[in-house]
C-alpha cells in the first residue's frame, strides 16, 4: 500500500448530502475526500444505526462522529430548549476531550447566523467547579457537551442535576471506547448510561477494540443491533520459497505510512541511543517534532530536568504527565502543538501514556518509546501520534536483552517491527567493532555528564532515585510479564542509564551484579540542595540525626556493658556472690545489735551495767552466730558504730556524718 492515506470518494457521494456550511468547513480543513472509516460510518450514523468503529490511528475517526452528530442536530424538527442536551461525547482524557471540543467549535464558529450555541467542555479545572459547569450550560444553552467521565457524571447526576434535561438526547459517543470500558471507568460509565434515554444513537470508536473488548460490553452500554465497522490497513511483502516468489498481503494495526522500528541495545545504553536518535532525525530535519514516552511520571520529570544539560542535545523540551495540574497540562500541550517548524532546533515532548491516545498532533515526525508500555494495546496508540492523515512518520522503541521477544508478541497482534541497526557515535567509522561484548565507550562519559548535573543540586538526586524506583515497579507489573521480568533486567546498567550517584536500597538490587558499579565520589554530608529552604531543613535534620545517633550509641554502649557483665566468666559471678552474702550477713548482725540497744535504753540507772553484760553476751552470741570466733574485725566495726550511734543521739554528730561513715554496711 502506498504511503498516502486511502480515500473512499468525495463528500458529495454520501447518500444524504451534507449541510452546505458543514461541507465548507470540512473542505477548509483540507479534507477534500473521505477516508474509508468516514465513508463507512457517516451514512449509518446519520440515520438510525448504532455503530462500533475500529480503525487505525490517524484514519479520521473524529470527523466520522463529529459530522453525523452535527447533521442530526441540524436536521431536528424542533430546536432544543436551553436546558436540553442534544449530544454527549465522552472521552477518557482531558486532552482528548479538549481536542474534540476544538473541532466542534471550529464547525459551529463558521455557521451562518449563529443558530447553534458553542459546545460545552467539561474537564477538571482549577477555575471551574461542577456547579460552575451547570451555570455555564444554562447561560450558553449548549446543545453539545464534551467531557471526561467523572466531570460528566457530576454534571448529570450531581448537585443541580434537575437543571440538566437529557430526555431529548440524540447522540452518545464513547471515544477511545476500550479505555472507557476499562475497570477504572465502569462504575461511572454505568451511572451515566442508566440516566440517559434509550432512544438515542450510540457510537463506540477506538483504534484497538478487539472482538472480546467490544462485543462483551455492547449490552451493558445499551447498543441496539449495532453495525460493526472495521477498517484494516494492509501491506504487501514478497514471500520467496524454493520455487517461486509470491506477493503476500498482511494486515496491520498501524498506518502504512508509519515506519515502525526497534533498536537492540543494553540497558546502560538507552540514554545514549535516545540522544543519538534525536541527533540522527534532527540532521535530516532540524525542526523535527518528537514525542518520547516514558513508563512513569517520575521518569518524565527527571529526564526533563536532565536532557537539556547533556552535551550535544540542543532541543526545546516539554513535559506532560498525569501528575501535573490540569492548567499546566493544557499549557504544555498547547505550547508543543504551536511550536513552529521555523525553529532551528527540534521540539521534544516527554510524556507518559496520558499523551498516547487520540491526540491529533499533525506536526509530530518521530516517536521514541524509551520504555515499552505496560499495556500492549497502548503501543499502537503511541505510534499513532505520527504518520497521521497521510503524512509519513517514524517510531522507535528501545529493547534490551530478553525484551526482543516483544517483537514477536507485537507481530502476532499485527504490529510489525523492523530492526534498526545500533546507532554508533556520529564520529565513529562504519568499521567500528560491534558493541556486543562490552558497553558502548560513551556509557561512562554520559554517566559522568549526568552525575555532574546531579551534583549541582541534591534535589536532582532525589528525582533520579524516585524515577529509578518507579520504573522498576512499573516494569514488574508489565502485562507481558513472561517477557518483561525484573530478574532478567540489568538493574546496574539501568542505574548507569539514569546516571545515579549510588544504588538505592531496594530488594530487587540484592541479587544484582555490583562488580560493574562504582558509586560517585561525593561527600554526602556536604551534598547540598540548591533551594535554601530545603538545605536549611536538611542541615537541621542532619544535626538532630547526629544527636539522636550519639544518644543511640550511648544507649548501645550501656547495653553492651550490661550484657558483657551478665555474660562474664563463672569465677567472676562466684566472687560477686560471696561479696553479696557477706554484706547481707553484716546487715543482719547490725539489725540484731540495734534491737538490743532499745531494751538497754529503758533502764537509765543500770544502763552501763546492762550494756556491759549485754555487750559481753552479745559479743559471744554474735561470734557464735557468725560461725567465726576469730572475726574480730566485724566486732570492732560494730563497736565503733555503737559509739557513733550514741554520739548521734546526744547530738554530737549529724545524721549525714553517720550515714557517710556507715552507709556501705
Give me the pLDDT at residue 624, please: 52
The mean pLDDT of 527-552, rounded to a whole number, is 92
The mean pLDDT of 529-547, rounded to a whole number, is 93
Output the nine-digit C-alpha cell for 302: 527527571
Give me the pLDDT at residue 635, please: 66
Q: Is the dihedral of CA 330, 332, 333, 338 positive or negative?
A: positive
The mean pLDDT of 157-164, rounded to a whole number, is 79
The mean pLDDT of 501-513, rounded to a whole number, is 90
Of 392, 383, 417, 376, the C-alpha closest to 263 is 417
Q: pLDDT of 628-652, one tens digit each?
A: 444 556 667 777 777 887 887 888 8
Of 301, 384, 281, the C-alpha closest to 350 is 301
Stretch (H or E) spanning 202:
strand 201-206
Task: Compute the half-sphere exposure of residue 132: CA atoms within 13 Å on the CB side of its CA.
Answer: 9
With cut-offs at 50, 70 and 90, classify the pLDDT of residue 433.
Answer: very low
With a cut of 60, say whether residue 606 has pLDDT above it. Answer: no
Output the nine-digit C-alpha cell for 470: 518507579
Give me the pLDDT at residue 619, please: 55
Of 190, 127, 134, the C-alpha closest to 158 is 134
Exposed, middle or buried: residue 559 (CB in 10 Å: 0-12, 13-18, 19+)?
A: exposed
* Whole-number average pLDDT of the chain: 84
Comparing 461-465, 601-605, 643-647, which segment has the lowest mean pLDDT? 601-605
Ranges of each domain in the chain? 11-231, 256-424, 445-516, 588-662
The mean pLDDT of 228-248, rounded to a whole number, is 60
Q: Identical fold at 11-231 and 256-424?
A: yes
With a cut of 50, say whether residue 165 has pLDDT above it. Answer: yes
> Helices (DSSP H) in 384-500: which residue ranges?
405-412, 442-454, 458-476, 491-498
Output the nine-digit C-alpha cell for 408: 514477536
With a cut of 50, say whether residue 1 has pLDDT above it. Answer: no
Q: pLDDT of 13-66, one tens digit each?
A: 999 999 999 999 999 998 889 999 999 999 999 988 999 898 888 888 999 999
Q: pLDDT of 318-342, one tens digit each?
A: 999 999 988 898 899 889 988 776 5
d(CA 54, CA 49): 16
Q: pLDDT of 540-565, one tens digit each?
A: 999 998 889 888 888 888 888 777 76
With a cut of 70, say whether residue 221 has pLDDT above it. Answer: no
Give me the pLDDT at residue 621, please: 55
d(CA 398, CA 373): 11
506: number of Cβ within 10 Å:
14
Q: Which of the given ranges, 144-148, 183-187, 247-251, has the highest pLDDT on average?
A: 144-148
With a cut of 70, say whether residue 314 has pLDDT above it. Answer: yes
Give me the pLDDT at residue 219, please: 56
d(CA 518, CA 294): 26
Exposed, middle or buried: residue 228 (CB in 10 Å: 0-12, 13-18, 19+)?
A: middle
CATH architecture of 256-424: 3-Layer(aba) Sandwich (3.40)
Distances 405 to 238, 410, 480, 534 between C-alpha atoms, Å: 24, 9, 10, 45
With cut-offs at 50, 70 and 90, classify the pLDDT of residue 428.
Answer: low
Residue found under cell 556493658? 561
CB 98 within 8 A of CB 334: no
Task: Compute the half-sphere exposure of residue 165: CA atoms within 13 Å on the CB side of its CA.
Answer: 9
**β-strand partners of 403:** none
Exposed, middle or buried: residue 447 (CB in 10 Å: 0-12, 13-18, 19+)?
A: buried
Specify the CATH number of the domain 11-231.
Answer: 3.40.50.300
Q: pLDDT of 570-580, one tens digit each?
A: 666 677 777 78
Give me the pLDDT at residue 502, please: 96
With a cut of 80, say whether residue 251 has pLDDT above it. Answer: no
Residue found under cell 476499562? 182
**β-strand partners of 229:** 53
Give me the pLDDT at residue 152, please: 94
Distances 612 to 571, 606, 609, 644 between C-alpha atoms, Å: 43, 10, 5, 17
Distances 222 to 89, 157, 166, 201, 226 between C-alpha atoms, Å: 15, 19, 16, 10, 10
With cut-offs at 50, 70 and 90, classify the pLDDT of residue 283.
Answer: confident
Give me the pLDDT at residue 131, please: 86
| 245-252 and 233-240 beta bridge pairing | antiparallel
Q: pLDDT of 474-492, one tens digit each?
A: 999 888 889 999 999 999 9
Order of strands across the sheet that contains 227-231: 120-122, 144-147, 87-90, 171-175, 201-206, 51-55, 227-231
The mean pLDDT of 172-176, rounded to a whole number, is 92
Task: Compute the half-sphere exposure of residue 298: CA atoms within 13 Å on the CB side of its CA.
Answer: 17
The mean pLDDT of 182-201, rounded to a whole number, is 85
Task: Compute the half-sphere exposure of residue 157: CA atoms within 13 Å on the CB side of its CA.
Answer: 14
The answer to whether the pTM exceeds 0.85 is no
Amino acid at each position: 500500500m502506498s504511503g498516502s492515506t486511502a480515500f473512499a470518494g468525495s463528500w458529495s457521494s454520501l447518500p444524504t448530502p451534507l449541510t452546505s456550511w458543514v461541507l465548507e468547513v470540512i473542505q477548509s480543513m483540507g479534507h477534500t475526500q473521505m477516508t474509508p472509516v468516514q465513508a463507512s460510518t457517516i451514512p449509518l450514523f446519520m440515520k438510525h444505526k448504532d455503530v462500533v468503529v475500529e480503525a487505525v490511528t490517524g484514519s479520521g475517526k473524529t470527523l466520522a462522529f463529529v459530522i453525523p452528530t452535527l447533521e442530526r442536530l441540524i436536521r431536528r424538527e424542533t430546536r432544543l430548549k436551553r436546558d436540553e442536551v442534544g449530544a454527549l461525547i465522552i472521552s477518557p482524557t482531558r486532552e482528548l476531550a479538549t481536542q474534540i471540543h476544538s473541532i466542534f467549535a471550529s464547525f459551529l464558529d463558521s455557521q451562518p447566523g449563529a443558530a447553534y450555541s458553542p459546545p460545552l467542555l467539561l474537564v477538571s479545572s482549577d477555575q471551574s467547579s461542577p456547579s460552575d459547569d451547570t451555570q455555564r450550560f444554562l447561560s450558553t444553552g449548549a446543545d453539545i457537551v464534551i467531557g471526561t467521565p467523572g466531570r460528566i457524571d457530576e454534571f448529570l447526576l450531581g448537585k443541580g442535576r434537575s437543571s440538566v434535561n437529557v430526555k431529548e438526547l440524540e447522540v452518545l459517543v464513547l471515544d477511545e471506547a476500550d479505555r472507557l470500558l476499562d475497570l477504572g471507568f465502569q462504575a461511572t460509565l454505568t451511572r451515566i448510561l442508566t440516566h440517559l434515554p434509550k432512544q438515542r444513537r450510540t457510537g463506540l470508536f477506538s483504534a484497538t477494540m478487539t472482538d472480546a473488548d467490544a462485543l462483551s460490553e455492547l449490552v451493558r452500554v445499551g447498543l441496539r443491533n449495532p453495525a460493526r465497522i472495521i477498517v484494516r490497513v494492509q501491506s504487501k511483502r514478497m514471500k520467496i520459497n524454493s520455487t517461486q516468489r509470491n506477493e503476500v498481503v498482511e494486515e496491520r494495526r498501524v498506518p502504512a505510512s508509519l515506519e515502525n522500528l526497534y533498536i537492540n541495545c543494553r540497558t546502560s545504553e538507552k540514554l545514549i541511543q535516545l540522544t543519538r536518535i534525536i541527533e540522527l532525525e534532527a540532521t535530516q530535519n532540524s525542526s523535527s517534532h518528537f514525542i518520547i514516552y516514558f513508563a512513569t511520571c517520575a521518569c518524565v520529570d527527571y529526564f526533563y530536568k536532565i536532557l537539556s544539560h547533556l552535551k550535544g542535545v540542543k532541543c526545546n523540551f516539554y513535559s506532560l504527565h498525569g501528575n501535573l495540574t490540569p492548567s499546566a497540562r493544557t499549557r504544555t500541550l498547547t505550547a508543543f502543538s504551536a511550536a513552529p517548524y521555523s525553529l532551528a532546533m527540534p521540539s521534544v515532548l516527554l510524556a507518559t501514556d496520558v499523551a498516547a491516545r487520540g491526540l491529533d498532533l499533525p506536526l509530530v515526525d518521530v516517536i521514541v518509546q524509551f520504555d515499552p508500555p505496560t499495556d500492549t494495546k497502548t503501543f499502537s496508540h503511541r505510534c499513532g501520534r505520527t504518520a497521521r492523515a497521510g503524512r509519513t512518520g517514524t517510531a522507535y522503541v528501545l529493547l534490551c536483552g530478553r525484551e526482543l521477544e516483544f517483537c514477536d508478541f507485537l507481530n502476532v497482534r499485527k504490529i510489525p517491527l523492523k530492526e534498526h541497526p545500533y546507532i554508533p557515535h556520529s564520529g565513529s567509522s562504519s568499521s567500528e567493532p560491534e558493541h556486543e561484548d562490552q558497553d558502548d565507550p560513551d556509557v561512562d562519559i554520559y554517566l559522568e555528564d549526568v552525575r555532574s548535573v546531579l551534583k549541582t543540586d541534591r534535589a536532582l538526586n532525589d528525582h533520579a532515585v524516585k524515577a529509578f524506583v518507579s520504573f522498576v515497579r512499573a516494569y514488574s507489573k508489565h502485562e507481558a510479564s513472561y517477557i518483561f521480568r525484573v530478574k532478567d533486567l540489568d538493574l546496574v546498567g539501568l542505574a548507569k542509564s539514569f546516571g545515579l550517584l549510588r544504588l538505592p536500597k531496594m530488594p530487587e538490587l540484592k541479587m544484582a551484579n555490583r562488580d560493574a558499579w562504582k558509586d560517585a565520589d561525593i561527600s554526602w554530608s556536604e551534598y547540598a540542595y540548591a533551594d535554601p529552604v530545603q538545605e536549611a531543613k536538611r542541615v537541621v535534620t542532619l544535626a538532630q540525626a547526629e544527636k539522636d545517633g550519639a544518644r543511640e550509641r550511648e544507649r548501645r554502649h550501656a547495653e553492651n556493658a550490661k550484657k558483657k557483665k551478665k555474660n562474664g566468666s563463672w569465677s567472676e559471678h562466684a566472687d560477686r556472690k560471696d561479696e553479696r552474702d557477706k554484706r547481707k550477713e553484716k546487715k543482719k548482725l547490725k539489725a540484731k545489735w540495734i534491737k538490743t540497744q532499745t531494751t538497754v535504753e529503758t533502764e537509765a540507772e543500770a544502763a552501763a551495767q546492762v550494756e556491759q553484760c549485754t555487750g559481753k553476751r552479745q559479743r559471744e552470741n554474735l561470734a557464735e552466730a557468725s560461725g567465726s570466733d576469730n572475726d574480730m574485725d566485724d566486732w570492732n566495726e560494730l563497736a565503733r558504730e555503737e559509739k557513733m550511734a550514741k554520739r548521734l543521739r546526744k547530738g554530737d554528730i549529724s545524721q549525714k556524718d553517720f550515714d557517710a561513715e556507715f552507709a556501705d554496711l
